[in-house]
Structure 1
């Protein structure tokens, strides 16, 4: 698993009663549906900082998306690409050269101009980033661009980025050492937002330091994030746990309808629900599926995203030799009643996953090997493999809610009962998500079987199967080098049709030949807002923008 999906936001204390009263008075808006007013969003945790390149979690990205723009963005409510700071883009046939035609008349929040030189300054900054601490925090850059001008610390890999040239103020040309299937979609990732070069320099943006497991970020990341987005940074009141953004009246696109956008940090989900009912916040993310009807009954709008998340159970073939036998892994796949899980444990809109790529992604294959619920078949395969006495240390996380597993304990209990019904002994091992689970599974590989998942970042098959299985990990133990090679080959094909066809074959082979995990279900989590909120478009990428939001 990539670190982004491992990391949950830093929790913080609830606001004082006096701040609640203040927020109540601020959130009223104009009262007549016109532009203006304040929108208060209940955030689950505090952002790590506000410099997009150093972030990899949703609670950090949410405010950043409102302040920054990317070259390419995603059409609201979809995974489709549309112009951002670039009005158009084109690639050379080999996929190694990308030419961006840029918007004119755009300025950063500090008043400096956005142009091709600014674009290249950002790409050069990321590539030339110095210091092991800074490089270690650039999770997405490492995943997409492979390496740095000088790899330090744990950073490794051959750089994909080569250079950036400002041909003229409105034309930036990006040169790569090799094609990567993530492009062009990855140019829309929030991590690759364009910052003001002047502000980066003025506030010493690259000065990240580390002490033990703690990181210290410079003034740019904490106090002066400077993008081109529809909202500008005003303050982060850590004493009262509120982030305040204000409308950017010089925004190049449609201006924000709100005067102010406040993120109020409320770590407890039940407290967020209560504050929405009380009217002290206007919305929050990932409501429990069990609360959907209650929220609707009180007049709130439960906006369900299109499915782009996937839950799987994975096998660690290192600790348990019997799991090296494909027949044993297939038996487990047949033993799990995924239809029942979706029907009884998941919210509306969820579905059984046939493979490790959602149906909307190019590279999805309709004709993969399937493993319908068949306990008799599972028992036959276990007997044929000499594994009728199989015992599994089955890890599941606690103290966490993820889009693809809203209640991990419930999902574990159902799957554990399925496995025991075919004669498998299950040793349940529960660990807190941030207090042992990630370390035991991701780093130490102490488990035999585990639950994990993924919410896609962009519409490319490599963002799913490449992220899951593209390299050897402690999560799965030793894997077949042939699978790594097949994934790398598919990712390196620049022709879209050939790229998709190669990933279709990869998906077929993963399900038939390798089966390092079992895809369980795909789902779209909800975001909830009050009855007087208009204009919020739920995104399958959890890429919601508040520029269109208003209140009446």
Structure 2
């Protein structure tokens, strides 16, 4: 099997920009408004001043968790990472499908265990060292040789979830070895088939990082604990990739700044400086856009979209490729009882939740993958909203007099699957209390406390979390959630784990589909968590933004933005 890129890298970047412009011009008309202060004019990569304000200010909902994408799993970290880093594989604009990036083409062996990549020539890291086959192997070997705390779920989340093992646990590992055949050819060998391998490489977690910088600034020297890891010097202030922007500074709690990399192999575009300003309150983000102190922000509150559009701001909706769920920790005795988990399912009015708290275009969820993903099963067991049935099940489980549950939810953040977490928490809490469940609210600030607590420890109860799909592969949803024992869910189901392992190794779609359909039915019956909705996130921009490369998987690189002033 092979994938041959049909376009040279520089021209492909230009084509991405053209696609973004076309999409942008189809959106609402522009109305003149105030702009953020400019520090310098843009050159568009040609050396000629285009006269536009070349500084683009984007409001982030929180600080990044880490500037080292290998040790990150959150959207705000990856938003910054996508500007600084690139992977072997990218994403076709406007889709969730893989496309060539630093690798111009690749071939795989018939048994799915060997992949040979042809690399782009003349690419430099921001520290002026060469990107080549040796750098590729350095990165793969780095991930494989993580030790101790580096291996914890809360630190190397994606390598854990997708590659399953490290050098000290080779029996479970997907990765085998890497060989630099020449400067521009590299072969990666897997220890077991992984059908989603190429698509997975489009994740920022597997971006190529400068070996020189990783070593010089002790990238793997992290401290603390799994519940509260302490970042390395590299992850705080020295990330080095090949992307269109290089890192400048991170003022924690305030902003991250990046600027155009003069040695970039592709098209730089109009934007020469990006400031990610941390505004954790949705109302503050809207007010800043209206005041002209930012150029745009993600996760516009559902109640704000129409008012902003009516005032002349640009609203862009991503296609829904998300899942919001109510997580259930079976380490809590009551939640280990399937009757209680079924009762929770019957207690929730998903239609009301969507109508009252989530963006227009959101779909009610019956399972943990969107309908466009392979293996979606129209016939999974469902739990209709039925408060009386919920009460009956609680009584049958021994909780006729009521049940008290801790309910964890994040503060100071908006996520694509959950623009307003506090509203979702309030809505669901009221529904659960109607069936006799007493809720003990347990809020935590998103970064760093919430994810570390929910994903890195057993100290939580029911909880709100979700997922924005990273690429169009079923394993990227159900495999990541339920492919093995995890602190978040607190259960051990070898039959489910084995079924997911088998499905992810099947390369033929017609053979893989029925396996995932059966798995999704089994998950729905088991109720390890409750799928709630597939939200459709909205972004808001100043009228000077002519186009923005909106992506269902958030693969949005800011050199593709076009500006009118």
2:92 aligned with 1:75: yes
Secondary structure in 2 matching 1:431: strand
Please tell me whether the aligned partners of residues 93 and 494 of structure 1 are also in contact (alpha carbons under 8 angstroms): no
**Match for residue 162 of structure 2 among 139, 144, 151:** 144
**Match for residue 256 of structure 1 among 263, 269, 279:** 269
The corresponding residue for 1:173 is: 187
RMSD across aligned positions (CA): 3.3
The corresponding residue for 1:215 is: 230
TM-score (norm 2): 0.82
| Structure-2 change in CA distance of 1:25 and 1:362 (3 Å) | same
- Write out aligned runs for 1:159-308 (5 A): 159-201=173-215, 203-211=216-224, 213=228, 215-218=230-233, 220-233=234-247, 235-236=248-249, 238=251, 241-308=254-321
The corresponding residue for 1:433 is: 444
Q: Distance in 2 between matches of 1:51 and 1:163?
A: 22
Secondary structure in 2 matching 1:184: helix
Task: Quote the offset at 1:87 in angstroms.
Answer: 1.6
For residues 78-124 of structure 1, give each alpha carbon's deviation from its aligned partner in whole angstroms, at most 9, with x where no partner exists: 21111111122232233221121222232323333322222122212
2:544 aligned with 1:529: no
Please tell me whether the aligned partners of residues 392 and 426 of structure 1 are also in contact (alpha carbons under 8 angstroms): yes
- Write out aligned runs for 1:23-34 (5 A): 24-26=37-39
The corresponding residue for 2:4 is: none
Task: Quote the offset at 1:73 in angstroms.
Answer: 0.8
The corresponding residue for 1:132 is: 148
TM-score (norm 1): 0.84
Task: Quote the offset at 1:418 in angstroms.
Answer: 4.0
| Structure-2 change in CA distance of 1:526 and 1:120 (3 Å) | same
Q: Distance in 2 between matches of 1:27 and 1:280?
A: 17
- Write out aligned runs for 1:112-511 (5 A): 112-129=129-146, 132-136=148-152, 137-150=155-168, 158-201=172-215, 203-211=216-224, 213=228, 215-218=230-233, 220-233=234-247, 235-236=248-249, 238=251, 241-321=254-334, 326-375=338-387, 378=390, 388-393=400-405, 395-400=407-412, 401-419=414-432, 421=434, 424-434=435-445, 445=458, 449-511=462-524
Please tell me whether the aligned partners of residues 366 and 382 of structure 2 are also in contact (alpha carbons under 8 angstroms): yes
| Structure-2 change in CA distance of 1:429 and 1:35 (3 Å) | same
Secondary structure in 2 matching 1:24: coil
For residues 178-218 of structure 1, give each alpha carbon's deviation from its aligned partner in whole angstroms, at most 9, with x where no partner exists: 123441211011111112334444x2443514256452423
Please tell me whether the aligned partners of residues 259 and 272 of structure 2 are also in contact (alpha carbons under 8 angstroms): yes
Please tell me whether the aligned partners of residues 49 and 217 of structure 1 are also in contact (alpha carbons under 8 angstroms): no
The corresponding residue for 1:3 is: none
| Structure-2 change in CA distance of 1:100 and 1:376 (3 Å) | same
Structure 1's unaligned 5+ residue stretches are: 1-20
The corresponding residue for 1:39 is: 56
Secondary structure in 2 matching 1:26: coil
Query: Which stretch of structure 1 is more off in the superposition, 339-348 or 268-277?
Result: 268-277
Task: Quote the offset at 1:173 in angstroms.
Answer: 0.7
Q: Distance in 1 between matches of 2:138 and 2:116?
A: 16
Query: Which stretch of structure 1 is more off in the superposition, 203-212 or 223-232?
Result: 203-212
The corresponding residue for 2:105 is: 88
Please tell me whether the aligned partners of residues 36 and 550 of structure 1 are also in contact (alpha carbons under 8 angstroms): no
Q: Distance in 2 between matches of 1:134 and 1:442?
A: 14
For residues 259-282 of structure 1, give each alpha carbon's deviation from its aligned partner in whole angstroms, at most 9, with x where no partner exists: 222223334433332222221211
The corresponding residue for 1:544 is: 556
| Structure-2 change in CA distance of 1:157 and 1:311 (3 Å) | farther
Secondary structure in 2 matching 1:531: coil
| Structure-2 change in CA distance of 1:428 and 1:382 (3 Å) | closer
Task: Quote the offset at 1:331 in angstroms.
Answer: 4.3
The corresponding residue for 1:14 is: none
Please tell me whether the aligned partners of residues 41 and 53 of structure 2 are also in contact (alpha carbons under 8 angstroms): no
Q: Distance in 1 between matches of 2:51 and 2:96?
A: 30
For residues 143-200 of structure 1, give each alpha carbon's deviation from its aligned partner in whole angstroms, at most 9, with x where no partner exists: 222233247xxxx973322111122232211001112344121101111111233444
Query: Which stretch of structure 1 is more off in the superposition, 401-410 or 57-66?
Result: 401-410
Secondary structure in 1 matching 2:309: helix
Task: Quote the offset at 1:354 in angstroms.
Answer: 1.5
Secondary structure in 2 matching 1:95: coil
For residues 471-508 of structure 1, give each alpha carbon's deviation from its aligned partner in whole angstroms, at most 9, with x where no partner exists: 33454444543222222222232333323331111001
| Structure-2 change in CA distance of 1:98 and 1:254 (3 Å) | same
| Structure-2 change in CA distance of 1:245 and 1:473 (3 Å) | closer
| Structure-2 change in CA distance of 1:126 and 1:274 (3 Å) | same
